[in-house]
Amino acid sequence: MEIDSVRVESSLWIGNKRYRAHLSGWYFSWTEIDKRNREKKTISVPVSEVIGVKEGRVEIQPQKKVEDTDIDFTLFYVKRSSKGNGIRAPWSLGRTQFCCPSRAVRDQWITQLRTALKTHSPSRPHRLLVFINPFGGKKRGKQIFHSLVAPLFELAGISSHVVVTERANQARDYILKKDLTGFDGVICVGGDGMFSELLHGVIGRTQQEAGVSEHDLTVMLQPCDLHIGIIPAGSTDCVCFTTIGINDPVTSTLHIIIGDSQPLDVCSVHYQSTLVRYSVSMVGYGFYGDVLAESERHRWMGPLRYDYSGCMVYLGNRSYPGLVQYLPADSHISSPRDNTRCLSGCRVCSESKERLFPHFDSSSSLYSTNVSQYSSELEGEWVTVEGRFKCVSLTCMSSSCPRSPKGLSPSAHLADGTADLILVRETNPLGFLTYLHRHTNTQDQFDLPFVEVHRVRAVRFSLPPGEEEEEEEEGDREVQASAERVLDDPEKLCSSDIAGHSQQHLAGRTERRNVTTSRVKHRGFVCGTCCTKPRSISVWNCDGEILPHTEISCRIHGQLVRLFARGIEDSTMA
Ligand SMILES: CCCCCCCCCCCCC/C=C/[C@@H](O)[C@H](COP(=O)(O)O)NC(=O)CCCCC
Ligand SMILES: Nc1ncnc2c1ncn2[C@@H]1O[C@H](COP(=O)(O)OP(=O)(O)O)[C@@H](O)[C@H]1O
Ligand SMILES: [Ca+2]
């Protein structure tokens, strides 16, 4: 075996074929040598994509099997498949068993490969906090984690502390309150709702520790260091699909293991001077709000509830009045109709970093103290649009999912500090069906006369005169108190004493304590059992949660959180 400072090389055998293997810089490669000493095919694996190196002949799938020989070692690495679902191919675990001429050579290879791994992959996680929602999607969260994810973590030397949730918001509260020392990231096994819990926990915790008020719409929030990973096991899994390109637990696990890091824009939603929620995918009023409200009554259907509710709401053919104000983003940088896609290594997102963090001190990972903590992001000229809308949607990213592989706004960027505002005005049922159907094919859903799309930094939504939201009245305090009482016991939520239009009770979901209840002048219905709400007012769907307010203000915080992901790999790179 030859070892110099930049290169390790020796002959190795795979089965009965001889290979010349070499490790140099960022790659481990092996080239087949035929009987006449001619070089044939070479396989190269980037060190950053090596999952583990084990003594002996090891298999972990379908079951763990170890044949502990003296001269063999097994290399595990990321393997790209040629066929993909959508625009990217899934990743799987590649495995090659090498046979060495002696035990000494075998031990040297293992040492050199493990050293290279440490040197070239410094940002890999070592300890993770995992939350499993046993009831998400098709209720397969626990099985997915134990059969597909845990064996890969073990192989990669990652230890995990697993919490199977027993109630909604347990994961969020855990992250907000418990000691997180030693954890390199938090992982959810579930859907967009579970991701949202981790998002709120991580952002809230970071702001608490930095002494920043989340309620202040104008403040510059502290970016979060603790990475979030998503193992898809939910109903829509939009955040996973948009940031990885596929909903596949093994692909997600491999991205977590190699320590990929994808910054993500986050939208904060405020009601008056209170933070209501954060969102990364869709804040949608009208159609998407109604679909969510309807779907909560059919949770027993599992993921199909959205298809059923989508049909029911479509047939209802409703539209809503509204006043939308937005702060446009710089149209010279990008536009929602420029026909580009935000892929791994996106130039628009990389170039946004300096603009978003002009005062970031990389040595302390904090903002310089002599710089104002207030952002200039809300300065500029607001544009006002008034009318009746089938839907108003705001999305920080493309929001693609298996139902809509190119998403709500196909050219939106994951980390450019902007969101796309889509206004679909009142139209006839066929027109709206055409709009919806274009989400599922290659036709441009924005090329319709009743649709407009804008790249924005902030949005305000209000009701036209006569429909305004009322502030909490004396009598409503009882409603609020009642809502707070049930926070600790979601089962109690389905009760007519929460007569406002927050429908968390239907989902067994809860709201944060600091969120106040607001009321809307009553003239109609929503859930048919206990809620009252005017027909002319819809609800907001915020990443799958119904908001308790109608008149909201939204602001985009560029690159506020980081995921164990790398954006969508173009399959031509595979
Ligand atoms: C005629 C064919 C119509 C097809 C319409 C397709 C439009 C799809 C746009 C999807 C946007 C999805 C945005 C993401 C939303 C999720 O956060 C949310 C919660 O997910 P989960 O926690 O996994 O349950 N999902 C939804 O609100 C469902 C929207 C479904 C709309 C049909
Ligand atoms: N143990 C639990 N019991 C009830 N609800 C839970 C539990 N754990 C998490 N949740 C809540 O369930 C909601 C839906 O979960 P999610 O994993 O997103 O599944 P889905 O994609 O099917 O909606 C989330 O809002 C989350 O807060
Ligand atoms: Ca964005």
335-356 per-position pLDDT tens digit: 999 999 999 999 999 999 888 8
Structure tokens at 477: 């305090």
Q: Where are the alpha helices (DSSP H) in 330-460?
A: 347-356, 429-437
Give the separation between CA 348 and CA 360, rounded to whole angstroms.
19
Stretch (H or E) spanning 75: strand 72-80
Q: Write down the residue that tokens 């502390």 correspond to.
A: 161
Ligand 2 and 193: CB distance under 6 A: yes
The confidence score (pLDDT) of residue 497 equals: 28
The 8-class DSSP code of residue 372 comes to: -
Give the 3-state DSSP-derived string for 512-571, with helices as H, strands as E and coil as C. CCCCCCCEECCCCCCCCCCCCCCCCCCCEEECCEECCCCCEEEEEEEEEEEECCCCECCH
Give the separation between CA 292 and CA 545, rounded to whole angstroms.
8
Q: Are strands 227-232 and 185-190 parallel, antiparallel or unpaired?
A: parallel
Ligand 2 and 504: CB distance under 6 A: no
Percent of the chain with pLDDT over 70: 83
Ligand 2 and 526: CB distance under 6 A: no
Higher pLDDT, 412 or 517: 412
Query: Cα of 546 to ligand 2 centre, how many Å?
Result: 14
- pTM, entire model: 0.87
Q: Indicate the top mutation candidate among 169, 240, 288, 408 to test ligand 1's pocket, ranked by most ligand atoms within 8 A of CB.
A: 288
What SS3 class is residue 221?
A: coil
Q: Please, which pLDDT band fits residue 111 given cuts at 50, 70 and 90?
A: very high
Residue 162: other Cβ atoms inside 10 A: 16
Give the separation between CA 156 and CA 154, rounded to whole angstroms.
5
Query: Cα of 553 to ligand 3 centre, how many Å?
Result: 17
Amino acid type, 358: P
**What ipTM does this complex have?**
0.96
Q: Which residues are catalytic?
A: 192
Q: Indicate the top mutation candidate among 138, 139, 188, 192 to test ligand 1's pocket, ranked by most ligand atoms within 8 A of CB.
A: 192
3-state helix, strand, coil in the chain (%, to 5): 25, 30, 40
Q: What ligand 2 atom has the least distance to the C-alpha of 195?
A: 18
The confidence score (pLDDT) of residue 84 equals: 55
Q: Please, which pLDDT band fits residue 570 given cuts at 50, 70 and 90?
A: confident
Give the separation between CA 12 and CA 26, rounded to whole angstroms.
20
Q: Please, which pLDDT band fits residue 360 given cuts at 50, 70 and 90?
A: low
Give the separation between CA 406 and CA 410, rounded to whole angstroms.
5
Give the separation between CA 532 and CA 519, rounded to whole angstroms.
10
Dihedral, CA of residue 341, residue 345, residue 346 and residue 347, to nearest 10: -150
Q: Are strands 159-164 and 185-190 parallel, antiparallel or unpaired?
A: unpaired
Query: Cα of 72 to ligand 1 centre, how many Å?
Result: 49
CA torsion through residues 500, 518, 490, 304, sign: positive
Ligand 1 and 282: CB distance under 6 A: yes
**Ligand number, closest to the Cα atom of 287:** 1
Ligand 2 and 135: CB distance under 6 A: yes
